[in-house]
């Protein structure tokens, strides 16, 4: 039995579907979600890795700055620029 609950969400065969306005849209959405050929979309893990590397470079640059190591500081900034450029070109999601 399909019905709309008190919050306006459709319940189709015991599965709650939030968002669709009509029962037909809810059924279509469930069918799409159950499609075994549907591509899998996930967050790009490289973005997390790049951000982590940038945080580590920030920590290293603080130490280099305190120690007055201008050559080391310049090298760290160069690495950060490279990582920021890579981050700008990375897609937010990956589709399999």
- Over residues 3-9, the mean pLDDT reads 87
Share of the chain above pLDDT 70, in %: 100
Q: Say yes or no to pLDDT of 88 above 90.
A: yes
Cβ(17)–Cβ(26) under 8 Å? yes
Q: What is the pLDDT of residues 10-47, one digit of tens each?
A: 898 888 888 777 888 888 888 888 888 888 888 999 99
The tally of CA atoms less than 13 A away on the side-chain side of residue 89 is 6
Mean pLDDT in residue range 61-84? 95
Listed by start position, the domains of the chain span 3-34, 41-95
SS3 19: coil
Token duo for residue 51: 């951000």
Give pairs for 83-87: CB < 8 Å, separation 24+.
83/50, 83/53, 83/54, 83/57, 84/54, 86/50, 87/47, 87/50, 87/51, 87/54
pLDDT at 28 (0 to 100): 87
Length of the chain, in residues: 96
More confidently predicted of 22 and 72: 72
């Amino acid at each position: 039995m399909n019905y709309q609950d008190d919050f306006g969400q459709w319940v189709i065969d015991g599965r709650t579907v939030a968002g669709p306005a009509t029962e037909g849209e809810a059924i279509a959405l469930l069918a799409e979600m159950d499609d075994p050929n549907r591509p899998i979309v996930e967050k790009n893990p490289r973005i997390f890795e790049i951000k982590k590397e940038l945080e580590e470079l920030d920590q290293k640059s603080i130490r280099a700055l305190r120690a007055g190591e201008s050559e080391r500081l310049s090298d760290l900034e160069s690495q950060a620029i490279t990582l920021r450029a890579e981050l700008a070109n990375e897609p937010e999601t990956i589709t399999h």
